[in-house]
Amino acid sequence: MNYNLLAPEILLTLLALVVIILGLLMKETSKNMLGYVSAAGLLASIVYILGNGMNEAASFFYNSLTVDPLSQVFKLIFLIVSLIVVIASIEYFRDNRNQDEYYALLLLATVGMMVVASANDLVALFVGFELASMSTYVLAGFEKKNPSSLEAALKYFIIGSLSSALMLFGMSLVYGITGSTNIPAIIEFFKSNPMVATSSLDIVAMIFLVAGFGFKMALVPFHMWAPDTYEGSPSVVSSLLAAGSKKMGFVAAFRVLVLALVAIRIDLQMTFAILAIITMTYGNVVAISQRSIKRMLAYSSIAQAGYISLAFVVTTQMSIAGGILLALGHALMKGGAFLAVALVGYMVLSDNKNAKNTDDLGNFAGLGKRAPITAFSLFVFFLALAGIPPSAGFVGKFVLFYSITVAAINQASSWLLIVVIIAILNSALSIYYYARVIKYMYVLPPNGEKIKEPVPYVVAILLAVIGTIGIGLYPEPFIQMAINAAKVLGV
């Protein structure tokens, strides 16, 4: 077996341990070094994956982990998000004396997400989920003196445990029915035993799995934790949660649900369509009334989850490619936007040490003059989130909506067209709350002096901007990459 393909996971695990040990030995003032070390490790992993090509295919450990284009795409998403989060954290946690633990946990969370991306076995999937979740529970509560951070962590922990339990129960039912935890073996079993596949017990198992993944993806009605957690966590951690760990749910759903749906042939189109529409509409409508930008971003990422889950409605190659593209775009846009909010928090705190609610809309007034790079980046992220070309958000949405329209024409079903129209109207609606922030940033007068934007934040944010616009300007290779990834599922 060629373990070279797992080098990134191995490297990052070792690095996490090294970071913890170094942290014990280092002086508090020099712990900032560890951020650079972690960033170097993540960057090396990204380079390694890209250098090896995206089209490798291999499986490991009795077929419980697999490396294929789908896993590579999602690993890249997780690594890129972690990289920009680590870079920004160098500034955010500059004077924190527990930095070593922060970076170690962040690396472990990344490894967990990468395991989920390549899991080919329900047990491996669950282990990956738990590794990533346990680490992020701690990260969400990392500002231990801030009550809202603690509230965020606790809520996230309780709901996360519940969803893990539901997922595990679903998995155990599947194991009971099929006698295997290996995903391809399960699919084979369903294909050869169609009677079992449509039994009521199997449907119950599927419902538990949908609920378990739904919590991770923050689909309505499993979304309640997301706004509170994203609002209360340190902004850099919110960035990791919204941009990175949420995508875990999607990759798991792509692997398990899509395959299972294809095998079982239960007609769940309508169910997923309703779930997606409710999710996007709810997210967009509630986002309008938020004054806390982090909360607004949280609801907007619920809405984005709704768009991405449209991929499950028709489950064609193109629609899944669209879902993957939008997941990639969303990771960059949302990750970058949360980091920009972190920078605004830094700015507000440098005005007034005891400021509360640093992400209040009022603090964004005149940001175009106070922090021009941040304001411009947020402008780009917001337009991209609203799906305005040329941006990653537009490419993802377009491929997704295109695929559903094509499916609607092929199936001659008019209700699928209505789904697309509702999704487009939702995009239009979302412009309203993004435009409001843009107006605050550029039209209203500033309420403070111009600040010097810290270099680590700027580097991280600009990386996200370059990614967002780059995909928008030159989408062809990314579309091909997503299509290759979708081909793995054989739909």
Partner 1 sequence: MAALISLMIAIPLIGAIITFLTRTREQARLVALLASGISLVISLIIFSRFDSSISTIQFGESYPWIASLGVSLKFGVDGIGMPLVLLSNIVIPLTVIFAWGETKEANRFYGLILLELVGVLGVFTSLDFFVFYIFWEIVLIPMYFLISIWGGPRKDYAAIKFFIYTHVASLVMLLAIFSLYFNAWTISGTPSFDMFYLLKNYSVIQSPLLKDAIFLALLFGFIVKMPAVPFHTWLPDAHVEAPTAGSVILAALLLKMGGYGLFRVILPLLPYSGSPAKLITLMAIIGVLSILYGTFLALAQRDLKKMVAYSSISHMGYVTLGAAALIPLSVSGAMYQQFSHGLITCVLFMSCGVIQHSAGTRIIGDLGGIAKHMPKLTFLMLAGFLASLGLPGMSGFIAEFLVLVNSYFTLPTFVILALFGIVFTAGYHLWAMQRAVFGTYNEKLGHIHDGANYEMASMGILILLIIFFGLNPNPVLNMMTTNAQQLLKFVALRGVIT
> By the criterion CB under 8 A, which residues form the site for partner 1?
388-390, 395, 398-399, 402, 405-406, 409, 421, 424, 428, 431, 435, 439, 442-443, 475-476, 479-480, 483
Alpha helix (H) residue ranges in 52-121: 69-92, 99-118
Q: Are 258 and 209 in contact (CB under 8 A)?
A: no
Nearer of residues 119 and 399 to partner 1, judged by Cβ: 399
Smallest gap from Cβ 449 to partner 1, in A, equals: 17
Among candidates 138, 123, 119, 99, which has minimal Cα distance to 233? 138
Give the shortest CB-474-to-partner 1 separation in angstroms: 8
Measured distance CA(371)–CA(421) in Å, rounded: 38
Minimum CB separation of residue 429 from partner 1 in Å reads 11
Distance CA 253, CA 322 (A): 15
Of residues 97 and 450, the one with the C-beta less far from partner 1: 450
- Neighbour count for residue 280 (Cβ, 10 Å): 29
Residue 437 to residue 416: CA distance in whole angstroms: 33
Closest CB to partner 1 among residues 288, 424? 424
181's tokens: 């935890």
3-state secondary structure of 65: strand
Contact 133, 162 (CB under 8 A): no
Radius of gyration of the chain from Cα atoms? 21
Name which of 177, 159, 183 is nearest 65 in CA terms: 183
**Min CB(405)–partner 1 separation in Å:** 6
- DSSP-assigned letters across all residues of 198-212: TSHHHHHHHHHHHHH
Cβ(263)–Cβ(491) below 8 Å: no
CB of 193 to partner 1, least distance (A): 37
Token code pair at residue 225:
């934790």
Tokens representing 49 are 């994956």
Q: Which residue's CB is nearer to partner 1, number 21 or number 421? A: 421
Shortest reach from residue 89's CB to partner 1, in Å: 30
Q: Which is nearer to partner 1, 184 or 389 (CB)?
A: 389
Query: Which is closer to partner 1, CB of 199 or CB of 410?
Result: 410
- Residue 165 in 3-state DSSP? helix
Task: Tell me how far, at minimum, the Cβ of 458 lies from partner 1, in Å.
Answer: 16
Nearer to partner 1, 158 or 435 (CB): 435
Shortest reach from residue 46's CB to partner 1, in Å? 25
Which of 390/454 has CB closer to partner 1?
390
d(Cα 384, Cα 393) in Å, to the nearest integer? 5
**Shortest Cβ distance from residue 301 to partner 1 (Å)?**
23
Nearer to partner 1 (CB atom), residue 106 or residue 419: 419
> Nearer to partner 1 by C-beta: 63 or 405?
405
Query: Measured from the CB of residue 387, what is the shortest distance to partner 1 in angstroms?
Result: 11
Distance CA 480, CA 486 (A): 10
Give least dist CB 314 to partner 1, A: 15
Say whether 59 sits in a helix, a strand or coil: strand
DSSP 8-class letter at 316: -
Q: Which is nearer to partner 1, 119 or 483 (CB)?
A: 483
Q: Which two tokens stand for residue 174?
A: 């599947």
**Contact (CB, 8 A) for 206 and 214:** no
Nearer to partner 1, 234 or 323 (CB): 323
User: Contact, 31 vs 99, CB < 8 A?
Assistant: yes
Inter-helix orientation angle 392-411/414-442, to 10°: 170
* 46: Cα within 13 Å, side-chain hemisphere: 16
